[in-house]
Amino acid sequence: MLSLPFAGHRWQCAQGPKEQRGDFFPRWASQLFGPFRPGDVVAVDQHTNQRHLHAEVVRELVEGLEHDELFSGLLRRCELLLRLGDGSLRQIPRRRCVRVFARDENERRVLLVHETFAYRRLAKTQVGQADAVLEIGSSFGDCTHILASHAREVLGIDNSPELVEESRRRYPTLHFELLDALSEPEQLAELCRSLCAGSGGGFKVFVDIGGDRLGGAVCRALVQLWHICEEIGVLPSLVVVKCKSLAANAANACDARGDICELPAWWQACSAVTSVRQRKKLAGGLWTGKSSGVPALTGSLETLQP
């Protein structure tokens, strides 16, 4: 049985299989899009493909609106007064702002997403200029490139020589390493130690080795990553995992805020899935949500043991 990694983090479903491409899980998305309070850090969409500006909320501005307007209309037309990095103030429409999760211990999160567009959307908004970022499963380097446009330093690793070679060809200024996160933990630990050295900001990890892969394999990679982080003494404030099976199971097991309920039991069930038959059994109704959003076990966890 695999131990639950990052047990002190909030495990949340950010996107399930029913959401459209790039959209987030409705129960969870409200944490990104408001309401905002003075002092919150937000990412501002600059209408570019990659870079988002981070700024601090001073206050909301809703002057000039009629009191009888619909609340949804109020949200669409509301503006935020933001303090930029150079100290200047700017008014920005609220619809262009996304909350950036804090780096303190109480806000550490593991976010599960179902597909690439949501994964990259989080890469654009949740990484700041002081962050060091590790991407496991960098593939062609496209998301690593997005991360690098925001972060202080980024490292992309992949276990495919062809993909690493192509990534280096496409993005020659970025750092890519040929490495298997599961079978080469010592090398990965050394790279992470170097990546985080002297970092006054946060450490964040993006994991994209899922796709259609069985959840058990992704779970083993997360456990390996957790052990490495404990070894080097640096826990990431944010771990974003793109995995269809884990995100689908999490969508059926989360509460009204997207937090996974009965997390140890959920993890035990997901990490035990080592065959297609077991994955279908889990997806077929091991977890069912009640009206309150709290899941109930309808099957035996023992039936999922390999």
- Under DSSP, the state recorded for 94 is G
pLDDT of residue 162: 97
Which sign, positive or negative, has the C-alpha torsion 242, 243, 244, 248? Answer: negative
pLDDT reported for residue 156: 97
The DSSP element (H or E) to which 72 belongs, if any, is helix 71-77
- Rounded to whole angstroms, the Cα distance separating 13 from 26 reads 10
pLDDT score of 272: 82
User: How far is the C-alpha of 70 from the C-alpha of 67, rounded, in Å?
Assistant: 9
Say which residues have a Cβ less than 8 Å from residue 179's Cβ, sequence separation at least 6: 157, 158, 159, 187, 188, 191
Do 183 and 228 form a contact (C-beta atoms < 8 A)?
Answer: no
* Contact (CB, 8 A) for 78 and 94: yes
Predicted pLDDT of residue 237: 95
Query: Which amino acid appears at position 172 of this protein?
Result: P
Cα 11 to Cα 195: distance, rounded to the nearest angstrom: 25
DSSP annotation of 253? S
200-239 per-position pLDDT tens digit: 668 999 999 865 566 888 999 999 999 999 999 999 999 9
- pLDDT number for residue 297: 35
- pLDDT averages per 10-residue partition of the chain, 306 residues: 92 93 88 88 78 88 52 60 92 90 85 95 92 96 94 95 97 96 92 84 89 77 94 94 93 92 93 58 46 37 32
Tell me, what's the pLDDT at 217?
A: 84
* DSSP SS3 for 260: strand
Per-residue confidence (pLDDT) for residue 48, from 0 to 100 = 65
Q: Provide the CATH topology of domain 10-30+102-277+294-304.
A: Rossmann fold (3.40.50)
pLDDT of the residue at 50 = 55
Q: What is the pTM of this model?
A: 0.84
CB 207, CB 241: distance < 8 Å: yes
Cβ-contact 58, 83 below 8 angstroms: yes
pLDDT at 207: 96
Half-sphere exposure of 100 (CA within 13 A, CB side): 25
Which pLDDT score, from 0 to 100, does residue 256 have? 86
